[in-house]
């Protein structure tokens, strides 16, 4: 693997552990195919789920490049979604589902980029994500539609924003997989009082030309929390920020993700986060009801939360991908 790569990953696929190895002879994986959730939930068929999930991924961490008409060399547009390299299996499964495109490795950034440029692949993507887009990136898709209509005589209509409730499809799960994180705060004070806090945090950079304020406010309202702003001092950038910590918001998250699961490695972080939440609920119920608790049992329970915290996010080194490979939404 190139010198820039410093991220060593183990993947657990069924019962087999395999490693990302040196692939200098293959920078691209290419596939070409010539042949409390309310009653607003849509029929959760494979194509609706895949299209809405892909739309959320794209609007969280994707972009579309459109060639200029004055270019001497003719190029197709490129639909791209960037993944952390640990989520390579997800990128591969999506690529197989689309049937056209390639995966580019960005070793220095510990990232891979799913890229689709064949016309049939672009048309497949448009047909799947069209009903589900909720952010200013819909403009990029409309620019792609205009390019296809001009250069390939298609007759796509410009898209409009999806204003359906967030709990009606898989879009938010895709957006969380792209731009959110599950976190456990754990602090053991000197007086032996242990403080824990669980949160889901979603951030999007504030860009003057393409504001995400509307959709971030909608997500905040859905989770019953406030929308805040964060100033990153090192860059001067501002970020819209949704942080869900209350019992109500956590129950909404769990109910939603039960119906519309995550598919990236964040699913594993979510499972650990949910286990920690259950442990904390049991501790709080015992305290509230003044149940005599053996202090050693309480410390054992808190230690379980501590161990879960230290197996999540960048501290995770084993990945079980059964949740991805056993899902039916990626079946072609």
Quote the domain boundaries for residue 142.
Answer: 10-166
Residue 299 has pLDDT above 80, yes or no: yes
Q: Is residue 245 part of a domain?
A: no
pLDDT digits (tens, 9 = 90+) for 214-243: 999 999 999 999 999 888 888 878 889 999
Q: Is residue 288 part of a domain?
A: no
pLDDT in tens, 239-297: 899 999 999 999 999 999 999 999 999 999 999 999 999 999 888 877 777 666 666 77
Count of structural domains within the chain: 1
pLDDT value of residue 332: 72
Q: What is the pLDDT of residue 206?
A: 83
With pLDDT > 70 as the criterion, what percentage of the chain qualifies? 81
Query: Can you give the chain as a three-state secondary structure string?
Result: CCCCCCCCCEEEECCEEEECCCCCCCCEEEECCCCCCCCCCCCCCHHHHHHHHHHHHHHHHEEEECCCCCCCCCCCCEEEEEEEHHHHHHHHHHHHHHCCEEEEEEHHHCEEEEEECCHHHHHHHHHHHHHHCCCCCHHHHHHHHHHHHHHCCCCCCCCCCCCCCHHHCCHHHHHHHHHEEEEEEEEECCCCCEEEEEEEEEEEECCCCCCCHHHHHHHHHHCCCCEEEEEECCCCEEEEEEEECCHHHHHHHHHHHHHCCCCCCHHHHHHHHHHHHHHHHHHHHHHHCCCCCCHHHHHHHHHHHHHHHCCCHHHCCEEECHHHHCCCCCCC
- Which pLDDT score is estimated for 207? 76
- Stated pTM of the model: 0.85
Q: What is the pLDDT of residues 90-113, one digit of tens each?
A: 999 999 999 999 999 999 999 999
Residue 131's pLDDT band, with cuts at 50, 70 and 90, is very high
CATH number at residue 77: 3.10.28.10
pLDDT at 27 over 80: no
157 lies in some domain: yes
Residue 153 lies in a domain: yes
The answer to whether residue 158 is domain-embedded is yes
């Amino acid at each position: 693997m190139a010198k820039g790569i410093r991220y060593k990953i183990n993947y657990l696929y069924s019962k087999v552990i395999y490693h990302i190895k040196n692939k200098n002879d293959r920078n691209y994986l290419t596939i070409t195919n010539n042949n409390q959730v309310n009653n607003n939930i849509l029929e959760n068929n494979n194509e609706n789920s895949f299209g809405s999930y892909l739309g959320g991924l794209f609007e969280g961490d994707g972009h579309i490049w459109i060639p200029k008409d004055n270019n001497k060399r003719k190029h197709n547009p490129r639909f791209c979604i960037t993944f952390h390299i640990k989520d390579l299996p997800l990128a591969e499964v999506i690529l197989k589902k689309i049937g056209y495109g390639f995966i580019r490795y960005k070793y220095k950034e510990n990232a891979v980029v799913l890229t689709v440029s064949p016309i049939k692949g672009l048309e497949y993507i448009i047909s799947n994500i069209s009903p589900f887009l909720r952010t200013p990136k819909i403009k990029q898709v409309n620019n792609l539609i205009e390019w296809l209509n001009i250069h390939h005589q298609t007759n796509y209509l410009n898209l409009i924003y999806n204003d359906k409730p967030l709990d009606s499809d898989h879009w938010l799960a895709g957006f969380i997989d792209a731009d959110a994180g599950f976190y456990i705060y754990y602090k053991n004070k000197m007086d032996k009082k242990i403080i824990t806090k669980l949160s889901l945090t979603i951030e999007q950079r504030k860009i003057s030309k393409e504001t995400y304020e509307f959709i971030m406010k909608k997500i905040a309202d859905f989770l019953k929390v406030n929308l805040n702003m964060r100033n990153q001092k090192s860059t001067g950038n501002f970020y819209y920020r949704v942080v869900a910590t209350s019992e109500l918001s956590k129950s909404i998250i769990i109910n939603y993700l039960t119906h519309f699961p995550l598919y990236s490695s964040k699913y594993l972080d979510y499972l650990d986060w949910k286990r920690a939440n259950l442990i904390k609920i049991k501790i709080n119920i015992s305290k509230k009801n003044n149940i005599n608790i053996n202090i050693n049992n309480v410390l054992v329970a808190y230690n379980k939360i501590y161990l879960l915290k230290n197996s999540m996010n960048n501290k995770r080194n084993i990945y079980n991908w059964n949740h991805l490979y056993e899902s039916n939404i990626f079946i072609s």
